[in-house]
Structure 1
Amino acid sequence: MKRFLLLSLVPSLMAWFPLTAQDDKILELGRLTYQSCVACHGPDGRGIRAGDLQMAPSLHDSAYLKGDHPKLLTALVLKGILKEDNRYIQAMLPLEGILNNEQIAALIAYTTKEFGGNRRNPKPVDVGNWRKEYASRTSPWKRGDLEQMLKEATTPPFLSKVRYGIYEGKWEELPDFSSLQPAKTGTLDDGHLSLDPAKGRKGNFGLVFDAEFTIAESGDYHFSLTSDDGSALIIDGETVIGNDGIHPAKTVSMKESLQAGLHTMQVQYFEASGNRSLALSVKGPGKFGTRWLSTERDEARKAGQSFEPIPLTARNPGEAIVHRAFLPDAKPRAIGVGYPGAVNLVWDADVLNLAYLFRGEFMDAAPHWNGRGSGSTPLGKDRVKLAHGLPFQILESLDEPWEPFSEAKVKYERDTADPQKEITINVRHPDYQFRGYRLDAKRFPTFRYDYRKLVVTDTFTPGEIDGVTSIVRTIRIDGDPDEHTYFRISETGSQKVTDGWIDVGGNLRVKVDGAETVTRKSGGKDETLAPVAAGTTLTLSYRWNAPLQP
């Protein structure tokens, strides 16, 4: 019986001894590698002192070593830490050019065991993957950045139930994803947005992320969205940030007042070709701090670097300023207009219609006049996108859907002589012709275009209604329209009518004179239309619900 027991233990002992020997080799390599750190941290890891000063911090107090953070430790070793003050004599030097993946993995195993009290065992292949992830970073870490990374690593993800859909198409701006079928869907269990699901795609794809988040404190939350190419951030069904169009990495930030509780978030993104990036962060009130909601962070922030602002202002008091550039939430031929009274708009010459209104400061042209000229950024607030897209359509029945953009399907596959994949592209609509715009004495533009047999002029006059920022839009339609021609006024907000004012969302209302409006349900949205007859002139008065806040 004893002989049988001994024989049965032999395989277990044989398996245990090689494992122990291998562990000893890893720890010994880690101990030898740590000799590179002794000059500052000391043999015992408590830091070398020089009088009242200390060369480096004690490793026994390191939250990075005490916790389960091998990725962060790899980042520290690879890039080092910047010396920002006199707290320590020496900066932590980057070792990525000195240590290989096996040495870094062994160093982490040794230091977490000796100084952290709980050994961590990253594999060299893990270190290699992290090395690739941090490869584009060219400078040491700031302590504040590392503290933020540690906080995020020890805090549950801000986003929950993160889902994604991948779409295929060739676009110059974000399409209506709700009308398309995803080629692939999935979830992101780590709670962070990522372009990894589309890693194998060369270009011409879109991604839509849906998620939920809960905040404990009501207040102002500052969101920053960086993307290459176009993107949009939608919270509780309302667009908060538009960063649309084809452009290099560009960051757009916006403040949103949110109530405590549960909220929904959607991020839309598309990539045409070339470089790609998507990064999202939020800064909240009180102790909330800054949270990254994406796996991509510093690389995107660096690529989407901001320049010294160049705010655009009118040459003379009482005049408007007209600025043509790539602008978010509009196609390439966008025209921004800043009016007296701090009311502004973007008019889209590609679809011959108002793209959106906003108020406050007008435009920062720094991104347009620096780098690759990625386009200007609206500086104001309270942006409302009402009914972007082609303004007129013939509807034989009110059950017909509105077609906001002119699109065509073509077969396209990059670097393929005989493509079979069908994608959607934007094309010029044959019923429309842009005729330019003319400035009056105050430099207020009047936009002019043709629609079928009609000649249309579109003019805006700023002012106040009941002491609140407003702008009046006059659309004059000359010619004999086809039967059942409609002008689309809005597809946003509740569309509820109170005292003649239609709620179009974003704390904005519109009153329509010159036609009896029709409200209908289309594509899951409420939509307000105006029928067009011969000699119709539509007057649309847009008014925010409250005065502009500083």
Structure 2
Amino acid sequence: MITSILSARFGGLLSLGCLLGIGLALAQPAPMPGTSVTLNDLSAFVSPTANWQILGGVRADLSKDNTLVTDKGTGVLANIPMAKMPPDAQNPYKYDLFTSLQHGDVDLELDYMMAVKSNSGVYLQGRYEVQLRDSWEIRTPNVHDNGAVYERWDDKRPDGQKGYEGHAARQNASRAPGLWQHIKISFQAPRFNSNGPGGVPQKTENARVIRIELNGVVVQENVELTGPTRGSAFADEKSLGPIRFQGDHGAVAFRNIRYVAYDKPRPELVNLKYAVYKGKFEKEPAYDKTAPESEGATTVLSANVSRIPNEFLIRYTGTLRVSEAGEYKFNLGVPGGGGLMKINNQTVISPGEWNARGQATLAKGDLPFELLYSKFVDWAQPAIGLTIAGPGIREYVIGDGAGGSGEEADPILVEANTNTMLRSFMDMPGEKNTQGRTLRVTHAVSVGSPEQVHYTYDLDKGALVQVWRGMFLDTTPMWHERGDGSSRPMGMVQRLGAPVFFLAKLGSAQTNWPADTTGSGYHPKGYVLDDNDRPTFRYQSFGASVDDKIRTLGEGKGIQREVTIANPPSDLYARLVSGSTISALENGTYMVDGQAYVRIDDVAGAKPSIREANGRQELIVPVKGKVVYSILF
């Protein structure tokens, strides 16, 4: 009996769709785990020149341009420019580094470190450049800055127009030189057929940068590449090409290079047939007891085979032709109702909400396929969208699209063109509360600046929670419909861990930092604004009055925090920062996890110390009335 395949109710259909709108959401590219490029030696590359080295570690000399300080070992690939690097007319890209890997569609993910004022790039297929540059001090990035898709070039064009089709990053998500940055690139190679003149392959589709995520911020999406960018190693375009690292411009280091190559044939739906039944099949349907309203053969999954606007069921049957055996993931979007999908007579997606996911291990060959779409919510536009991802196969849509209800929320964004403050809840990804859920700061104040450097402060603990560069806040979760009271930063975020009280009385420098404010006499006193609407937070603790002033550094390099404590007790300490690894550098500067610098500006002669605490490290300092330090990131 056909009815048995929908014995479960299409339950919970309105719970998500009404709130978030309807649509098939393709998963974002997730290159990890992928394949690692071995950095124990240079064997993964073709004819490397002496400027490229395998090292154990690097750091930037912050007092010198274009200079990296190196340590022996393995795991880091670095370009260390040589004193003499004469140009080679026969090989203008002699000092660049090319992988042995020849890739088509690929997701590439890596860490990189820029020296001060350095410039480099990653060329996909050796032809299409994504800019890597020390753009720390840039407020409005252009096509020469970090995260840009570089411009094409034509000397025949008029002056001022020779460069064209470059794409700057949406915002500056760069870290400071000497800090490790992380980039994810999803690339689609150009497509060709063999029907060109004289049998020469003819391009049928341009290459495309699907997405670039820089330090956790999406800076590029859906960029079409009509041809190679300036500085391409090849004048032509092909289906395959190497990854190329630029080596003739500046000092740069790379680590954790991983990729996923999408070179396997996609599954295909063949011998597809449909039958449309009229009725409201919200529960277990009995459509097989009546004749279908219409039926026939088709080549694509589509809701358009039904002429009934609402209260119908479409049943598709056919064959899924699988060329590559392995684990496959599916995402089914069926707005206004529910869906079910079977492959090889096994349920892959059970009846449920408008968007549902499933996965299955599929053998190579022709497998029976069945999909049901029951539509019974009248205001939703009918559509069928199905995505498939598998081994060597990037997620793609098979169907007529996602459909939509017109109910999707427009983002509610808060800009900081002037000094701006907003109180909200603030979630802390990666930190858990006592129930094991994502930690939520309930007394958060986010402070934005026109310098595009912002921070969040926890009034409940007198703690600096996070700092970030770029755009200010997305308050859609806070204000859309009923909302949940939270906002989220929009730029490149440096989170400072679970918030703890800034000040504590310790019996010694080895005493554990208290987990809460018990016994501290902590009483928040709000804040006062200066003439430029910048807050100074005030509270009382341990019998002392505290002023906590945080200001943006010049050129948007970070923030400076000045905490003044009136009449501090003798055993009072301040915890400046915690991290997995804290390293002392020159001139009172510390590096935290390779992600930020902490600079000691004024601690009234006290001596900071790094200590171990619960498997992490903390930078603490005795308090003598004033603590001034900066976070540069």
TM-score, structure 2 length as denominator?
0.40
Q: Which has the higher contact order (CA 8 A, sep 6+)?
A: 2
Q: Which has the higher helix share?
A: 1
TM-score, structure 1 length as denominator?
0.46
